[in-house]
Amino acid sequence: MLYSERSSWWRDNRGWVYIIGAILLFGIIEIRLFSIQVIDRPDFLKVAATNRVRAEVIEPARGRIFDRTGQLLVENRPLYTLCALPWTVKRNPGTIISLASVLETDADQIRRRIGVRGWNTFYPTPLQRDLPFEKLAYLETVKRDYPGFEFRYEAKRSYPHPETVHILGYVGERSQDEARKGRGRFGLIGRKGIELVYEKWLGGEPGVRYQQVDVSGRITGVLTDPPPIDAEPGWDIHLNIDAELQRYACELMEGRTGAVVALDPRNGKLLVLLSLPDYDPSLFAGVMPEDVWNELTTDPGHPLINRAVQGLYPPGSTFKMAILAAAIEEGIADENYSVTCRGGMQLGRRWFKCWNKAGHGTVGRLKSIQQSCDVFYYRLGLALEEDRIEKYCRLFGLGRETGIDLDSESPAIIPSTQYLDRKYGKGKWTRGQLANIGIGQGDVLVTPVQLAVFTAAISTGFLVKPRLAEKLVNPVSGKIYSIDADIKPVKISEKTLKILREGMRMVLNEPGGTAYWLRRDDIIMAGKTGTSQNPHGEDHGLFVGYAPFDDPCIAVAVVVEHGEHGSTSAAPVAVRLMDRYLRVEVESAKKLGSSLH
């Protein structure tokens, strides 16, 4: 009975069921169509636009770099770069073999280059920068046969002053992550030196223009809707470096290995920062061959190391002013303090020799600097011990980063009790090591830029932060961003500093001084020679100095690797450099004065 009733109901109502079902089905379809055509329309339009419209990033002109006199240190040279769009090339793999024959290279090498950033991207991958004109002209005439390959205009960095390479650094290709974060930028990015440190300013802001492409990825036209966005060029940077003085320092070094640092002790402006040997920065501007990179990295001269800020050297006798300052401030070396030097000193079973085998006789504070008596400083090192030495060295800026606006600065080493215990084991180091620290040997390691800051602090009583950049200038708006000096007083009494200065004056200006032979009659200079032991060969020669003595405007530190004696290798470089700078400054002042009148 129940079954017959249900069958009867179905026969009587099935028409309505079909109608309602159809209404529901078509209703769902209508809702979906409405969603696709109205609600989701903007999203689908974007996808469609992506298929037919490609955004091309417009690389901005990279900022230029000038020296303090306005000489151009880095400029941009126009070039064309052959790029590949991996996604398009992936769909036309046969073009790679044909292109390899044109470029006279291996097809597998092209594939590796394209695959660096992955094959499923439209980000352009540079294949060859600065393409020769004949290849550029040929490929331009047959470009329709090479879908996925295109030319892009770039600006290649040119470095007309090779001796500034360790200051300026170099640029290199962007990685896949850098390209993605840079909104598809394929241009070069700072990798070292000023190019890296000031990348935010030098790099500029990219623009964009929109191109229409067909199903094969070929460009069929440039769109005006959406309108293109112009690129904003990078800011120009004006350095404190004097290019002519830098070149002169390079000439004075005569191809020897080492570093020269010169700065204005009144404000920290770096006038010279030279490291030798150097390298050609233009090698990094394109796709560097593997054999060239291997040659650079295996070169026994280590040209990629910036010795001025990364080179670690025992300071030798240039360290003695820090030891004497500590001894005076701690009440150990008063005006009556003296030591008798007989050519060395016995400490336990070891004879610690002085550089003067005949001995210096009775040595007081000033004579200890003038004649660089080692015995005097052996005794001070033992009396002060390691922690007080470290304390006063740090007051002079030794043993810590100077804050220079360059990358990869080494902090250097001024050994403390904690350091010595960690290196040799608690209580396992000897008093002989303390004696060596007193003459700037053993575990003491500093950089040339630290020595220059240390010397500047003695000359003025102020600790400066060395600065390469003076100001940044927007080439479009003319807006200027100046980089202010960072100056702090040295926490050493003026009385002590005067003693150090007088001793350094005597080095160059009194008979018996270790650099007396380099004295100048018209300019009073102050300085200190040094020789540091080198376990790998001849000793290194060092010199620190400043001038003029009464009104310092330049402080210099020079390290000549394997120079043996600072008085004959490093000192002549520093003295001639200071002499040249002061004479140019005097002439400039005279010209300025005459123009004012």
188 and 279 inside one domain: no
Contact 530, 448 (CB under 8 A): no
Mean pLDDT confidence for 374-401: 94
State pLDDT tens for residues 111-141.
877 777 677 666 677 777 777 777 878 777 7
C-alpha distances in Å from residue 156, one per residue of 64, 116, 172, 204: 12, 22, 11, 15
Q: Is residue 318 part of a domain?
A: yes
CATH number at residue 107: 3.90.1310.10
Q: Is residue 50 part of a domain?
A: no
Q: Show the 3-state SS of 344-376.
A: EEEECCEEEECCCCCCCEEECHHHHHHCCCHHH
179 and 297 inside one domain: no
Return the bridge partners of 316, or none: none
Last residue of a domain, one of 237, 261, 282: 237
CATH number at residue 457: 3.40.710.10
List the structure tokens of 548.
């003029």
Mean pLDDT confidence for 333-357: 93
State pLDDT tens for residues 409-433.
998 899 999 999 999 999 888 889 9
- Classify residue 555 as exposed, middle or buried by CB count within 10 Å of its CB (0-12, 13-18, 19+): buried
Structural domain for 255, as ranges: 243-592
Domain tally, the chain? 3
Q: Is residue 597 part of a domain?
A: no
Using 50, 70 and 90 to split pLDDT, how confident is the model at 597?
A: very low
64 and 26 inside one domain: no
Determine the Cα–Cα distance for residues 127 and 133; give it in Å rounded to an integer.
16
Q: Is residue 506 part of a domain?
A: yes
In degrees to the nearest 10, what's the CA dihedral of 545, 549, 555, 560? Answer: -20
431 and 369 inside one domain: yes
Share of the chain above pLDDT 90, in %: 54
List the structure tokens of 172.
């290199």
90 and 126 inside one domain: yes
191 and 292 inside one domain: no
233 and 247 inside one domain: no
Q: Is residue 384 part of a domain?
A: yes
Q: Is residue 170 part of a domain?
A: yes
314 and 368 inside one domain: yes
Instruction: Output the pLDDT for position 219.
Output: 62
28 and 90 inside one domain: no
Instruction: Output the pLDDT for position 392.
Output: 96
DSSP 342: S
Using 50, 70 and 90 to split pLDDT, how confident is the model at 230?
A: confident
32 and 62 inside one domain: no
Q: Is residue 364 part of a domain?
A: yes
Determine the Cα–Cα distance for residues 456 and 462; give it in Å rounded to an integer.
7
Last residue of a domain, one of 219, 237, 255: 237
Last residue of a domain, one of 195, 220, 237: 237
Q: Is residue 106 part of a domain?
A: yes
Question: Above 90 in pLDDT, residue 220?
Answer: no
pTM, full prediction: 0.83
466 and 569 inside one domain: yes
State pLDDT tens for residues 450-496.
999 999 999 999 999 999 999 999 999 999 999 999 999 999 999 99
321 and 182 inside one domain: no
